[in-house]
Amino acid sequence: MCNTKLRRWCSCLAVTAVMLLVFTGCSNAGVLDPKGPIAEQQRDLMYLSTALCAIVIVPVLVLSGIIIWRYRDRAGRQAKYAPNWAHSTKLEIVWWGIPIIVILAIAIVTARATYALEPSKPIRSEVKPLTVQVTSLNWKWLFQYPEQGIAAVNELKLPQGVPVRFEITADSPMNSFWIPQLGGQIYAMSGMAMTLYLQADELGTYAGYGANFTGTDFAKMVFDVEAVTPERFNQWVSEVKADSPALTQAGYEQLAKPASSKVLTYSSFPDGLFDKIVRKYAGHAHGRPDTPKHDDTGGHAMNHMPDMPDMPDMPMDN
């Protein structure tokens, strides 16, 4: 009997030790190890939501264990038996009131955070934002720096402490652009240009992902995000301009074909390439690619379908 109890206690201690190692043993915890202001606010929101939920969850789990232990079937059981007890107004108020208050608190906190963390909302800073145009390809990422006039594949360099305005689209199936330590993910969709502001406050290399399954080489859609000093960033731009080939339109069309890719850099790219990629799937009017039409509500109008040839009359069943 003693051996059985000892084994149970040892098992519990072993499980607890494993959980502690899992939750505290990682030096890089991704979203729980933020390196920028957006990721920090998102982490704080997760912590606060978890704490509010714990107000209900922890007591329920503790009481569940106590009840199971207290009222377990055993020889000589002396638990109180009250078959006629049916209702307690005070207890009803407690176990309904507390969850309602918690839910309201979570709703208020989440609503405020949703507006504060709107992806297209600029980050407050005295430094001018850097624009990076991101295109999801099968199965690679193309990063264009329109102000610097350079481009890179599967490599993203950012100056430390500078807000970055990402303009994100896809010339492939829908994907999701995600740098966990800098902020939440956002979809990359063909025919649309999504806006996302992020900022790296600490020097270092962070992992970037394609977080939406897109086929055969989806697992290779990863890239390094290196936060460097502004001086080092300018030096990198100069090196790319001096040592890398130009990305031509024909070169882009070859790059856009489904295939994985190593890290590549380009000293220039065709003017308006990003806008052409966005408009490529945005609609056609009267047989020619053009800016998509808008309806009266400000949304994109549906593409016009070509006239269909007349179909012969078909006999109808009586």
Q: Flag whether pLDDT at 205 surpasses 50.
A: yes
Check whether 71 has a pLDDT greater than 70. yes
Confidence label for 304 from pLDDT (cuts 50, 70 and 90): very low
SS3 label, residue 194: strand
Residue 78 has what pLDDT?
72
Tokens representing 33?
A: 């190890």
Mean pLDDT across the stretch 92-109? 93
Q: Which of 15, 49, 266, 296 is nearest to 146 (CA)?
A: 266
Residue 22: band (very low, low, confident or very high) from pLDDT cuts 50, 70, 90: very low
Per-residue confidence (pLDDT) for residue 10, from 0 to 100? 55
Q: What is the identity of the amino acid at 100?
A: I
Cβ 119 vs Cβ 186: under 8 Å? yes
Residues 6+ apart with CB under 8 A from 172: 136, 137, 138, 190, 214, 256, 258
Residue 108 clears pLDDT 70, i.e. is over it? yes
For residue 139, whether the previous peptide bond is cis, meaning omega lies within 30 degrees of 0, is yes
Lowest mean pLDDT among 27-36, 250-259, 309-318: 309-318
What's the pLDDT at 290? 45
Mean pLDDT of 166-181: 95
Average pLDDT over residues 217-240: 95
What is residue 44's predicted lDDT score, i.e. its pLDDT?
Answer: 95
- pLDDT of 169 > 90? The answer is yes
pLDDT at residue 73 in the model: 77
The rounded mean pLDDT for the chain is: 83
| pLDDT (0 to 100) of residue 313 | 45
User: What whole-number percentage of the chain has pLDDT above 70?
Assistant: 79
Coil, strand, or helix at residue 24? helix
The residue-averaged pLDDT of 28-32 equals 74
Residue 48, SS3 per DSSP: helix
